[in-house]
Chains A and B, each alone.
Chain A
Amino acid sequence: MNIVVLMKQVPDLVEELEVDAGGTLLDRAWLRFITSEYDDHALEQALLLKEQHGGTVRVLALDMGEADEMLFTALAKGADSAVKLSGDFATGIDSHSAAGIYRHALEGASFDLILTGVQAIDDLDGPAGAMLATHLGLPYIGVVSGIDVDTANGEAHVRKEYPGGLLAEFTVDLPAVIGIQAAMQPPRYVPISRIRQTMKTASIDETAAQGERIAGAISVERMYKPERAGSATMLEGSADSIAERLLDILTEHGIGR
């Protein structure tokens, strides 16, 4: 079972986000990066599968944010190798271009499964994993929260989440790309000492990112913060008029139908 995991760094929402002077990008001066939550789950799922079936886990990431820290942490958790694709990603990268780079890096490689987060908080043009599957001509299923691999038949049984607590089960021929919503166990904790040790003993393979950037397909004209006051909008009046207002608000948000 050889698994490739695509991981990426996204802005950490713990810090206030600000828009830069150009008005279309986040202000990088205040940004701090964190591993995309779903990618952490993808890694965990890969490690679980490795524990079950043997094989290797190889992590791929673009050189953005704290990519080194993320990759060393993945190695400390049990990944076998880590590849950092370097390039100029100072202002981020769209998913279409990222998918192109991954395609280049993976063409000709041998693997049984590619796992990645189903989405990320900054995927304006959609999840790169789904696009990569198209590039590689592999099947793709996203929003998956459970995988069992049948190595004998070269297939995986995956469970995809639907609204209302429903799960749909699919059988997918391998190799395939899976967009992970949640691993079958919460991502494991890895002690600091192990990460520090890994930084001393293991290494990250670094190669230049290749594949043309598909830019400009969407042009961002404006980025701004939603009006969301620090404190609540207070509703006043009689119980019935408040109820009516609440009903409108819920309807506006598509709730309660």
Chain B
Amino acid sequence: MHANILVIAEHLKGRLSGIVFEMLGKAHALATETGGGVEVLLMGHGVRALAEELGLASRVLLCDHPALAAYTPQACLDVAEQVIARRAPDLVLIASSSMGLDIAAPLSVRLGVPHVSSCRDLRITAGRAIVTSQMYGGKMLVESHLDLRGAIVSVLPGAFPEDAGRIAREAVIEALPVEGLDAPHMRFTRLIEQSGTDIDITQTPVLIAVGRGIQNRENIAMVEELAAIAQGAVCASRPVVDQGWLPMTRQIGRSGMIVKPKLYMALGISGAPEHVEGMKDAELIVAVNTDAQAPIFGIAHYGVVADIADVVPALTEALRNAHAPA
């Protein structure tokens, strides 16, 4: 049976989110496997340029309307419902993101179809979708099987490779009419950029943490560089903050901040209980330490027994190369 898949796109400040390409790449692979097609629903106002980036899809369904200029849950929900009802896809993929979380579950109620959240892996076998979801804070994986009758799957960012969706190809764009957005109960007013004196590390998904192994203030510069390239922030164990090398707002641990980033890279941190308490729930923990016996390796997912001064520049370089346009 061929599976027709609809991907709902999201964008912010004129850019498509990376997760859109992850879903598109995955959907493309599945559709190819089963002989189906992929459509992407793009809602917005004046976003044809974004539609052009989605060439991998069989078709980009473009809903352009002033009321969709900024993402508004209610409007997007209404439009998505109409489109799904009309196109009747076998499977709908929505990002498990701030925007996707608002609409996926209500769509399933409105359309009377099942919904599975937190998807980390997705296969299609014997006419059914097999979804692996990450539940209980990542402590359990749950495999559920869905009939391909319009089921909705919310996909966790990072589940699939993004590159697979970024294949440059001329997009087939179909503009769809948009109706019934006149009396909204919900109005977007503005975007607020977090200002403040220092960044809020509890809200930063990538944290590069330095401990006493950093040895001196000057060495922090190279870590700042790594953090910048990884789009993260530098934080620290208490001794580093005590030295005054970083402000108190960057201290992780019992007497500092409790964080749950996607990545926590512990550089030269031994892993004292007071420190671990602040970061143990990070999704991915990578530790670099010269001491193979350091307790931090007991909670890290990946460990490197090496000197910061060797690993950090090499990793910065590797990230920089990966970013450079091929």
B283 close to chain A: CB less than 8 A: yes
A112 close to chain B: CB less than 8 A: no
A139 / chain B contacts, CB cutoff of 8 Å? 73-74, 185-186
- Contact: A253 with B262, CB < 8 Å? yes
- Contact: B191 with A166, CB < 8 Å? yes
Main secondary structure of the interface of B (DSSP, over half): mixed
Within the assembled complex, what's the spacing in Å between the Cα atoms of A159 and B305? 44
A230 close to chain B: CB less than 8 A: yes
Within the assembled complex, what's the spacing in Å between the Cα atoms of A17 and B135? 11
Distance in angstroms from A142 CB to nearest chain B CB is: 5
Complex interface residues of chain B between 279 and 322 (CB less than 8 A to chain A): 283-287, 297-306, 310-311, 313-315, 317-319, 322
- Contact: B192 with A244, CB < 8 Å? no
**Contacting chain A: which of B136-144, B211-219, B241-249?**
B136-144
Partner of A255, one of B118, B186, B284: B284
- Nearest-neighbor residue (CB-CB) of A138 within chain B: B185
Known contacts A160-B98, A170-B72; decide if A125 and B116 are in contact (CB<8 Å): yes
- Contact: B322 with A157, CB < 8 Å? no
- Nearest-neighbor residue (CB-CB) of B101 within chain A: A142
Within the assembled complex, what's the spacing in Å between the Cα atoms of A118 and B104? 13
Partner of A131, one of B109, B262, B314, B319: B109
- Contact: B315 with A217, CB < 8 Å? no
Within the assembled complex, what's the spacing in Å between the Cα atoms of A119 and B229? 31
Within the assembled complex, what's the spacing in Å between the Cα atoms of A166 and B106? 24
**Contacting chain A: which of B33-41, B59-67, B151-159, B172-180?**
B151-159
- Contact: A127 with B185, CB < 8 Å? no
B230 close to chain A: CB less than 8 A: yes
A190 close to chain B: CB less than 8 A: no
- Interface mask (A9-52 → B, CB under 8 Å = 1, otherwise 0): 00101000101000000100000000000000000000000000
Distance in angstroms from B10 CB to nearest chain A CB is: 10
A200 close to chain B: CB less than 8 A: no
B90 close to chain A: CB less than 8 A: no
Known contacts A13-B139, A166-B192, A247-B319; decide if A143 and B117 are in contact (CB<8 Å): no
Partner of A124, one of B12, B13, B144, B317: B144
Distance in angstroms from A171 CB to nearest chain B CB is: 5
- Nearest-neighbor residue (CB-CB) of A174 within chain B: B185
**Contacting chain A: which of B1-9, B24-32, B48-56, B199-207?**
B199-207
Complex interface residues of chain B between 153 and 203 (CB less than 8 A to chain A): 154, 157-159, 161-162, 185-194, 199-200, 203
- Contact: B136 with A13, CB < 8 Å? yes
- Nearest-neighbor residue (CB-CB) of B130 within chain A: A221
Within the assembled complex, what's the spacing in Å between the Cα atoms of A130 and B161? 29
Interface centre among A19, A171, A246 (most CB of B within 10 A): A246
B83 close to chain A: CB less than 8 A: no
- Contact: B117 with A126, CB < 8 Å? yes
A96 close to chain B: CB less than 8 A: yes
Partner of A168, one of B70, B116, B145, B287: B70
A-B contact pairs, 11 of them (CB 8 A): A121-B137, A125-B115, A126-B105, A126-B108, A126-B117, A134-B105, A168-B192, A173-B186, A221-B144, A226-B134, A247-B322
Residues of A within 8 A of B (CB): 11, 13, 17, 19, 26, 95-96, 99, 118-119, 121-127, 130-131, 133-135, 138-143, 157, 159-163, 165-173, 176, 179, 217-226, 228, 230-236, 239-240, 242-244, 246-247, 249-257
